[in-house]
Structure formats: C-alpha cells, structure tokens
Amino acid sequence: MELLESRVGRPEGGTRSCPYPVNEAMIHHWCDAIGDRCASYLEPDFADASVHGGIVAPPTMLQAWTMPGLRPEEPSTGSAGTDPDEDTRSVMQILDDAGFTSVVATNCEQEYFRYLRPGDRITHTVEIESVSGEKKTALGTGHFVTQLYNYRDGNGELVAQMRFRLLKFRPPAADAPPPDGMDRGGTEQERDRA
C-alpha cells in the first residue's frame, strides 16, 4: 500500500493530445449519434447570435477530443522520472502485478470551466488523486483508484477537469461459488450466450 500511496498527487504518464482540433464535423457526428439538436452546436446563424457568439462543442464531448481512437497511440510527452532505481510503473501496472487484474469503471464526474470552440486544441494530463485501501466487493477484493484528468487548451488554460474512479480487483477464483444473488443458473453454454 505504501507504494500505491506514494503515487497519489503524481502524474501518470505525460501530456496526451489529439492531432485534430475541436471541429464542426466531429460536433455534428456526435450530435447525430446522441440525438442532440441544440442549435448552439449545429446552426452557425443561431450560434453567432447567441450568448456564445459562435458554434460551441457539447461539453459531454470532452473526452472525445483526446481519445486515441483506432489510430496507434502517440507517445505522451514528459516522463515519470529519470532515476534508474525509481519504480516507474503506473498504478494500474502495480495493481496488475499484485494480482488485481480486473477493472470496472465505477463513476465519472466532469466539471467544465468554459465551452470548447472549433479550433481549440485540447490536451490532458492525468494524476492519481486517491487509491483506497483494499476493499471487499461483490466483484472481488480490490482498490478504488481515482484519476484526475486536467484538460487544457492551446494556451494552457484549464478548460475542464474529470475525476474518473475505477475498481481494480482480483477476480474470485473460477471454482469459487458466485456471491449471493449472482448465480445466473443454466448450463455453461447457456451462460456464455447470456
């Protein structure tokens, strides 16, 4: 636990970015997929006359601007440290190595400081905000990890933050009985199709 606690408040990886700026085409695709018809996102004449003074991106697109998608992931900038004796594994790697190999997202909180506009180039950094002690859950024993994402524009202005919490857990042994209320019954083939 001491090694995990030593990671709290420290960056995990470097700065991540997307090769594409915020743009109207991606805003339109997002709105089409979600079914959002907000005129401030889609109609230039309306948006120009609005309080925004032009097209803005839906705030919920925040993560989309720096996700790598299917292209090969670009290396992040920055480094975890240069001391050859320093353990540079990420919190996720440390937990994997300790047998906590399964993961489930538990919640996500986003805070927006301003609307993103076409042309903005967004980057993000991640730091570990907290790591819980070992907790026993219905999924297995594990640790809750809260990552703080800081999103910045091309001028370095903080435009949004996201707290992403997940549970890294050790899956129960395959031959262990399922926790109460989790037995789906049926044959193995039937369960595989469920």
The pLDDT, as a whole number, for residue 187 is 60
Q: What is the four-CA torsion angle of 20, 22, 23, 24, rounded to 10 degrees?
A: 150
In a domain, 122, yes or no: yes
The pLDDT, as a whole number, for residue 77 is 54
Give the model confidence (pLDDT) of 72-92 as tens digits: 665 555 544 555 566 778 899
In a domain, 182, yes or no: no
Q: What is the 3-state secondary structure (H, E, C) of the chain?
A: CHHHHCCECCECCCEEECCCCCCHHHHHHHHHHHCCCCHHHHCHHHHHHCCCCCCCCCHHHHHHHCCCCCCCCCCCECCCCCCCCCCCCCHHHHHHHCCCCEEEEEEEEEEECCCCCCCCCCEEEEEEEEECCCEECCCCEEEEEEEEEEEECCCCCEEEEEEEEEEEEECCCCCCCCCCCCCCCCCHHHHHHC
* Local confidence band at 175 (pLDDT 50, 70, 90 cut-offs): very low
- Verify that 71 and 139 share a domain, yes or no: yes
Tell whether the model's pLDDT for residue 47 goes beyond 60.
Answer: yes
Q: Give the residue numbers spanning the domain of 15.
A: 2-20+65-172
Give the model confidence (pLDDT) of 64-74 as tens digits: 998 877 766 65
Closest to 137 measured CA to CA, from 182, 107, 165, 169 = 169
The pLDDT, as a whole number, for residue 89 is 86
* Local confidence band at 185 (pLDDT 50, 70, 90 cut-offs): low
Tell whether the model's pLDDT for residue 189 goes beyond 80.
Answer: no
- Verify that 90 and 157 share a domain, yes or no: yes
Tell whether the model's pLDDT for residue 126 goes beyond 90.
Answer: yes
In a domain, 178, yes or no: no
Structurally, how many domains does the chain consist of? 2
Q: Which of 15-24, 54-63, 140-149 has the lowest mean pLDDT?
A: 15-24
- Verify that 13 and 87 share a domain, yes or no: yes
Question: What mean pLDDT value characterizes the chain?
Answer: 87
Q: Which residue has the higher pLDDT, 98 or 182?
A: 98
Q: What is the CATH number of the domain that holds 139?
A: 3.10.129.10
Separation between Cα atoms, residue 126 and residue 17, nearest integer Å: 12
- Verify that 125 and 33 share a domain, yes or no: no
Mean pLDDT of 113-135: 96
Please state the pTM of the whole predicted model: 0.79
Q: Which residue has the higher pLDDT, 108 or 186?
A: 108
- Verify that 31 and 48 share a domain, yes or no: yes
- Verify that 105 and 137 share a domain, yes or no: yes
In a domain, 186, yes or no: no
In a domain, 193, yes or no: no
In a domain, 92, yes or no: yes
